[in-house]
Amino acid sequence: MSWWKIGIGVIVLGALGWFGWTMTRPVPGVKVADLGREHVAPEQVASTTYNSNPPSSGPHLETWVKAGIYDAPQSEGELIHSLEHGYVIISYNCGVHLQSSVIPGLTRNPEFFLTGSRLGGRDDIIKKVYAHEDASPSGDFNKPELATGSAITDSATCATLRQQLSDLANRKRLWKLIVVPRPQLDTTIALTAWTYIDKFDQFDARRIERFIDFHRDQGPEKTME
């Protein structure tokens, strides 16, 4: 057999192997049902029952949040619109699990913290982890009694987390990427893309980068930004 035929065979086998790997590799995060892409008024965003915290799809405003690292919470309806454009959003709350004492008035549902090893399967994970949100409109997440007050604290651990997230976002060129504090978040970190979410309490660069690499620019509306 001639060398060129061997070379073509190697290329074909390599391509088939790569295609097979991309088709079977696990998708980062948990799949969440698509709530649609309707443009609505701010009061409709506030009254909508979203199926994840932070929301990962659903009715949203006509404007959106641009890529960047923000020091203050951003509009819920605009963040959802950013997801529609293929953005990945890194939300964080230093008031959850990063400090030694519980913030007065903070209420927690124990089902927030169930892990897959204690549940029946992927569908159960979605039902259990987000059970508290099924009957809670988005506007409720902004009530003081359901939030930690501020997602940013004066602790050294919070400063470290914010620096880690900022450095990672800059390494990823900040293209279609948002880092934002979220006082109503029930875990320290949440990653959202359109219809996908991943929530955890310890900074994990590989986990975050893998989510970004897989989901960025995969939203239902393709935009040049």
pLDDT at 21 over 50: no
pLDDT at 192 over 60: yes
- Maximum Cα–Cα distance across the chain: 76
Asked whether the CA dihedral 89, 91, 54, 130 is positive or negative, the reply is positive
Q: Give this prediction's pTM.
A: 0.72
Which residues, at least 6 apart from 178, have a Cβ–Cβ distance to it below 8 Å? 65, 67, 68, 69, 70, 74, 79, 82, 87, 88, 89, 90
Query: In this predicted model, what pLDDT tens digit does every residue of 23-43 receive, in sequence order?
Result: 566 899 999 999 999 999 999
Residue range 176-193: mean pLDDT, rounded: 96
Query: In this predicted model, what pLDDT tens digit does every residue of 93-126 receive, in sequence order?
Result: 999 876 533 333 333 332 222 222 222 333 333 3
Task: Calculate the CA 1 to chain-centre distance.
Answer: 52
pLDDT at 97: 75
Which tokens in the block code for residue 72?
């203050």
